[in-house]
Amino acid sequence: MAGEPVNVNEFEELARKVLPKIYYDFFSGGAEDQYTLKENIEAFRRITIRPRILVDVSKIDMSTIILGHRTSAPIIVAPTSSHQLAHPEGEVATARGAAACNVIMGVAFTSTCTMEEVASSCKAVRFIQTFAFKREITANMVQRAERNGFRAIILTADTPRLGRKEADIKNKMIAPPFKNFEGLISTEAVSDKGSNVEAYAAETLDPSFCWKQTKAIEAGVVAGIIVSNHGARQLDYTPATISVLEEVVHAVQGKVPVLFDGGIRRGTDIFKALALGAKAVLIGRPVIYGLAAKGETGVKQVIDMLKNELEQTMALAGCCTVDDITRSHVNTETERFLCRM
Ligand SMILES: Cc1cc2nc3c(=O)[nH]c(=O)nc-3n(C[C@H](O)[C@H](O)[C@H](O)COP(=O)(O)O)c2cc1C
Ligand SMILES: CC(C)CC(=O)C(=O)O
């Protein structure tokens, strides 16, 4: 690739060049055959956009309100682990990039900077992500989230154990120290066989956590739902997230906002997810690639690229605000053939 990257996929190329293979494989990889990994991207390509023309699009406003927080666009940085493997400044740089773009920063508890370091380094609205950890870890996380001004807790529910990423196993991937666990568990490498990320997960997760233990929805503590397959890193052969979004939106019946992630690489992808009912989208790997390539500046550039592409898509499709994007602005695969569009 010659010159500056002009889209998110070119940032991936840059990241691939600068990262040691073991880390590039860790960030880019998915579970087992990586069927779902490919599908998360491919399924977007099968959805087409139905533009409206001769609409006054002289002013486009992408701003929206997510769980009470006004943001510049319906974009959230997805919680992903291990940012210091991409760049020495890690999650602090990512959060600053998110703050510069006025979008929400999702911080993984398995981050390489502590929650406190991220909180004190930037003004971004921050959500903290947790797994169903053993109870003492969760209690510690909740207290620190409150103390450090995190505005929501994202509970990742698909990880009673870690998915099998075969590249990590072959590469004998060593997890970086996850500093949030300091004082709670041993943060030293815990296995010399295959990927020790799996060993880490086994030490911290509570695989017995299930519906019996939570009445969260009845108690009204669920403020939103994220339709996600963990970037295709857990159960392979689950469907592409974009192909099930609408079904979830119907089931939720507007009771809480539905957010979405998995495979967003273009502004058109964001537009399609919004048309199918998402309130906002989370972006995982592209942000990591921006961070790897250029630190905080790269994160900002990636988010700005996606914002600019969304703005362009909205203008060309005849939508001045995110609320103007409706179900009738897209055709799914089946509809495409029915309508002969
Ligand atoms: C390298 C990597 C690490 C991740 N770590 C976490 C994590 O610690 N917690 C979590 O809930 N999700 C994690 N995810 C999943 C993301 O939150 C998100 O669902 C996914 O990246 C979205 O797909 P995308 O990468 O195609 O945008 C991770 C994803 C990647 C790629
Ligand atoms: C450290 C891991 C548990 C992070 C994760 O969720 C992932 O790599 O997909």
Q: Answer yes or no: is pLDDT of 214 > 90.
A: no
* pTM of the shown model: 0.96
pLDDT in tens, 228-251: 999 999 999 999 999 999 999 999
Q: ∠247-29-245 over CA atoms, to 5°?
A: 10
Q: Pick the ligand that lies closest to the CA of residue 176.
A: 2
Q: Is the CB of 266 under 6 A from ligand 1?
A: no
Return phi, psi of residue 64, to 5°.
-155, 170
What CATH number is given for 8-340 in this structure?
Answer: 3.20.20.70
Least confident of 26-40, 102-116, 195-209: 195-209
Percent of the chain with pLDDT over 70: 95
Rounded to the nearest angstrom, the distance between the alpha carbon of 131 and the centre of ligand 2 is 10
ipTM here: 0.99
Q: Residue 202: its pLDDT value, please?
A: 82
Q: Which residues pair with 205 in a beta bridge?
A: 133
Catalytic residue among 83, 87, 230, 329: 230
Digit-coded pLDDT (tens) for 82-91? 999 999 999 9
- How confident is residue 187, by pLDDT bands cut at 50, 70 and 90? low
At 47 the pLDDT is: 98
Q: Evaluate if residue 341 carries a pLDDT over 70.
A: no
pLDDT one-digit tens code per residue, 284-320: 999 999 999 999 999 999 999 999 999 999 999 999 9
What pLDDT was estimated at residue 76? 98
Any idea which ligand is nearest the CA of 15?
Answer: 1
Does residue 193 or residue 38 have the better pLDDT?
38
Q: Which residue has the tokens 């099930």?
A: 244
Q: For residue 70, which amino acid is it? A: R
- Backbone phi, psi, residue 51, to 5°: -75, 155
Residue 337: pLDDT band (50, 70, 90) is confident
- pLDDT class for 340, splitting at 50, 70, 90? low
Q: Is the CB–ligand 1 distance for residue 9 below 6 Å?
A: no
* Residues making up the chain, counted from first to last: 341
| H, E, C per residue of 40-54 | HHHHHHCCEECCCCC
What does the mean pLDDT of the chain come to?
94
Residue 120 is predicted with a pLDDT of: 97
Q: Is the pLDDT of residue 55 over 90?
A: yes
Q: What is the reported pLDDT for 198? A: 78
pLDDT of residue 221: 79
Domain segments of the chain: what residues? Answer: 8-340
State the pLDDT at residue 217: 64
> Which residue, 145, 93, 73, is CA-closest to 321?
73
> 173 CA distance to ligand 2 centroid (A)?
12
Q: What is the mean pLDDT of residues 213-226?
A: 80
Q: Is residue 87 annotated as a catalytic residue, yes or no?
A: no
**β-pairing verdict for 48-49 and 330-331:** antiparallel
- Which pair of tokens denotes residue 64? 């929206």
CA distances from 276 to 220, 243, 244 (A): 25, 9, 10
